[in-house]
Amino acid sequence: MQKRKLGTHGLEVSAIGLGCMGMSFSYGPPKDRDAMIALMRAAVDKGVTFFDTAEVYGPFTNEELVGEALAPVRDQVVIATKFGFNTNVDPRRDTGVSALNSRPEHIKEVADASLKRLGVDVIDLFYQHRVDPAVPIEDVAGAVKDLIDAGKVRYFGLSEAGAQTIRRAHAVQPVSVLQNEYSLWWRRPEAEIIPLLEELGIGLVPYSPLGKGFLTGAMDENSSFGSDDFRSALPRFAPDALKANLAMVDLLKQIAADKQATPAQIALAWLLAQKPWIAPIPGTTKLHRLEENLGAASISLTDPDVADLSKAAAQIAVVGDRYPEKLEQMTNL
């Protein structure tokens, strides 16, 4: 597996990481613990060094799972986790900024608790999960700086932050990574965020790089989601939206056939081709999907390939908002 540098302060990870949220949270009931531990260890064997979790995934149980799975290979991996919510809320359904909590004292409490759940001496990458408008970002960056100075955190990250917030945070404590949704069907970061990251020397970690599973081609207009699946509440996954958005999957299938690849691999290869400091974190709970996703790192898209795909995708009108309105309010602050 190729490696990529995120930011300018020494953070290096596998070109494709593993998002672990779905093992415990959001996509149906929690999966079998032993099977998920085996999956994460298989990922390490296949060259993955970058694993993503958060305290609210569960809550708490996903950090414990990731910590247990990676304990035998701790010195080989980078573990990212996140702070920024009140831990008595469900960030998928408790809407609005009242769910947020990035007070400096809370950040430090979360760090100590995450260290214990992960079973590690230091958090490799500590993200603010969502920007809290009630707390100046300078105070947030200062709290993480204190944690870095204390040896409890190595690198500072933000998630779904707006351009001015990134600049202000970076001036207090250098931001190594921004985690943002970014894929062929969510390209808003291209307008302002990606140029800013290039200017400041900040890496980008796209979450939902496969559109929460949609870009794999495994869904159709008849796909449905249980009440314990976050996608049941997302406008883009309503039946009419799914039907309209299949045009994006059809495009990926056409290109995949030419490259002897799968739609998911083309979607990930397109992301990898955007910038050398982008490392997506597709999530999965299945070994064959893990192997498929990692295969994207071996697919070479030429500059004309990337330009043609980008142009064709831009001509497809994506139907449905990515989040309900009140959840969207917690992004790009």
Report residue 149 as tokens.
Answer: 């100075």
Asked if the model's pLDDT at residue 95 lies above 60, the reply is: no
**pTM (2 decimals)?**
0.95
Q: Which tokens go with 243?
A: 């039907």
Q: So what's the pLDDT on residue 89? A: 62
> Would you place residue 94 in the very low, low, confident or very high pLDDT band (cuts 50, 70, 90)?
low
Q: What is the mean pLDDT of residues 257-281?
A: 97
- Phi then psi for residue 134, to 5 deg, are -85, -10
Determine the pLDDT at residue 328.
84
In whole numbers, what is the pLDDT of the chain averaged over residues? 95
Rounded Cα distance between 42 and 291, Å, is 10
Radius of gyration of the chain, Cα coordinates, nearest whole angstrom: 19
Give the span between the Cα atoms of 255 and 238, in whole angstroms.
Answer: 26
Residue type, 85: F
| Average pLDDT rounded to a whole number, residues 62-66 | 98
Active site (catalytic) residues:
57
Give the helix/strand (H/E) hosting 181.
Answer: strand 177-181
**Do the beta carbons of residue 73 and residue 42 sit within 8 Å?**
no
Which of the residue ranges 84-98, 148-162, 259-273, 296-310 would you say has the lowest mean pLDDT? 84-98
The percent of residues above 90 in pLDDT, for the chain, comes to 89
Structural domain boundaries in the chain = 3-210+271-299
Compute the distance between CA of residue 110 and CA of residue 114 in angstroms, rounded to an integer: 6
Choose among 301, 247, 304: nearest CA to 273: 301
Is 3-210+271-299 a CATH 3.30.70.1290 domain?
A: no
Q: Biggest alpha carbon distance in the chain? A: 54
Output the six-digit token pair for 162: 């707006």
Band of the pLDDT at 49, cuts 50, 70, 90?
very high
